[in-house]
Amino acid sequence: MISNPTTAVDKTPKNTKLTSNQALSPDPNLPAPGGSLRFKLRRLAPTLTGETMRIFIDGKYYDEKNAKISVFDHGLLYGDGVFEGIRAYHGRVFKLAEHIDRLFNSAHAILLKIPMTRAGIIRAVVECCRQNKIRDGYIRLVVTRGVGTLGLNPHKCKRPSVIIIAGKIQLYPPEFYQRGLDLVTVATARNLHSALNPAIKSLNYLNNIMAKIEALNSGCEEAIMLNSEGFVAECTGDNLFIVKAGQLLTPPLSAGALYGITRGVVMELARESGMAVGEPNLTRYDLFNADECFLTGTGAELIPVVKIDGRVIGSGKPGPATKKLVGQFRELTKVSGEPIYP
Ligand SMILES: Cc1ncc(COP(=O)(O)O)c(C=O)c1O
């Protein structure tokens, strides 16, 4: 997800002291809030260890300054490529196989042949974490169509490029994990399945970026995107859930939701604790009258929502089911994942 790409490479040192108000913030290593200027300063500052980030491009490692791809890469020229955002927790890469499967499915859907095997990419992601001494962090895995001509024809691109960046991310200011987000429904509809299927996690995120701009213009951090029929699809970089009468509900994939890895984890955790889980079509009315609402995503993790289009949701505070799922999710991240330092 590219909600805030400037922060994707923020290399906050592990032992940096942060705000105390992170009761719901799942990552204690998240940088303190403070707006973009603060981030720019952090971004330019040397890391605690003085080491530069090492970035994987097509089998070789480059330091940050020298990690470059061609201006003729169709990933840049046309957004032609696919990607994954992945998290590492406690020295393990969380749900790595699931992310790699989704990457290969996205690539298959756009007829892009990834020039590495699944096992090779898994090894490369883990090694890239090691190279960057990551225990808790965010990994961006990108496969571009590669260098081609100025025309659209992807067959002119002889070799796709594989890029891996292992750093940190912060999608929303930490205080929102405690008090909850305020969302707005935007006019930009989610892509039609028949145009650019929202299940494909492609490098072309303009649909989401247009919606994000609308949210930011109305003073909200995140946007709810509807599909062309008016049903809720998802947010610009997250899946959306509501709790109603003890049931956990989220839009179906057919409504235009990404097959979110965190979405799947949360649905499983809810079922394990005896909660009924459903995937009906949801309207804004259903959201307004929900008992609780929250978003899920690899970058965002689980974040409560307390207001939508000016309507207070439930009690106006993060609800008990949301808090319970945040706790269960955190516990799972402590024990699950591909070990980086076996
Ligand atoms: C549009 C969109 N929806 C939902 C998600 C959440 O998916 P996941 O939990 O796999 O990160 C993402 C992030 O990848 C996204 O970009």
C-alpha 8 – ligand 1 centre gap (Å): 15
pLDDT exceeds cutoff 70 at 6: no
Report the residue among 1, 98, 269, 325 best suited for mutation to probe ligand 1: largest number of ligand atoms under 8 A from its CB: 1
Nearest CA, atom 1, ligand 1? 237
Q: Over range 143-170, report the average pLDDT.
A: 97
As given in the structure block, the two tokens for residue 287 are 């959201």
State which of 94, 95, 258 you would mutate to test the pocket of ligand 1, scoring each by most atoms of that ligand within 8 A of its C-beta.
258
Q: Kindly report which listed range (167-181, 205-219, 274-288) carries the lowest average pLDDT score.
A: 167-181
Residues 35-64 pLDDT 10s:
333 333 334 333 444 579 999 999 999 999
Rounded distance from Cα 238 to ligand 1 centre (Å) = 5
DSSP H helix total and E strand total for the chain: 9, 16
Q: For residue 324, what pLDDT is reported?
A: 98
Tokens 């909850």 belong to which residue?
Answer: 180
User: Residues in the chain, how many?
Assistant: 342
- Mean pLDDT lowest among 22-36, 139-153, 161-175, 251-265: 22-36
Q: Which atom of ligand 1 is nearest to the CA of 3?
A: 16
Cα–ligand 1 centroid distance for 295 (angstroms)? 10
Question: Does the pLDDT at position 212 exceed 50?
Answer: yes
The pLDDT score that the predictor gives to residue 50 is 54
- Specify which residues 147 forms β-bridges with: 73
Per-residue confidence band for 139, with pLDDT thresholds at 50, 70 and 90: very high
Place of tokens 């003729």: 72
Instruction: Calculate how far, in angstroms, residue 151's C-alpha sits from the geometric centre of ligand 1.
Output: 30
Q: Mutate which of 205, 298, 301, 325 to test ligand 1's pocket (most atoms within 8 Å of Cβ)?
A: 298
Q: Which domains does the chain have, with CATH numbers?
A: 36-170 (3.30.470.10), 175-333 (3.20.10.10)
CB 67 within 8 A of CB 55: yes
Q: How confident is the model at residue 279 (pLDDT cuts 50, 70, 90)?
A: very high
**Percent with pLDDT over 90 in the chain:** 83
**Joined tokens for residue 59:** 């089998």
Q: What is the DSSP letter of 196?
A: S
Q: Which residue has the higher pLDDT, 42 or 69?
A: 69
Ligand 1 binding pocket (C-beta < 6 A) is 1, 85, 208, 234, 237-239, 258, 260-263, 296-298
The structure's pTM equals 0.86
Least confident of 25-34, 58-67, 263-272: 25-34
**For the ranges 2-6, 22-26, 38-42, 63-67, the one whose mean pLDDT is highest:** 63-67
DSSP secondary structure letters along 130-149? HHTT-SSEEEEEEEE--B--
Residue 217 predicted with pLDDT over 80: yes
Nearest atom of ligand 1 to the alpha carbon of 262: 9
In tens, the pLDDT along 309-320 reads: 999 999 999 999
Does the pLDDT at position 230 exceed 90?
yes
What are the CA-CA distances from residue 134 to residues 54, 85, 86, 141, 143 (Å)?
11, 15, 12, 15, 21
Alpha carbon of 26 to ligand 1 centroid (Å): 17
**In the predicted model, is pLDDT for residue 18 greater than 60?**
no
Closest-CA residue, ligand 1 atom 4, reads 238
pLDDT of residue 51: 74
The pLDDT of residue 170 is: 86
Measured CA angle at 73 (ends 6, 60), to 5 deg: 75
Q: Annotated catalytic sites, by residue?
A: 201
Angstrom distances, CA of residue 9 to CA of 43, 138, 268: 8, 9, 31
**Axis-axis angle for helices 261-272, 96-109 (nearest 10):** 130
Please give the share of the chain, as a percent, with pLDDT higher than 70: 85
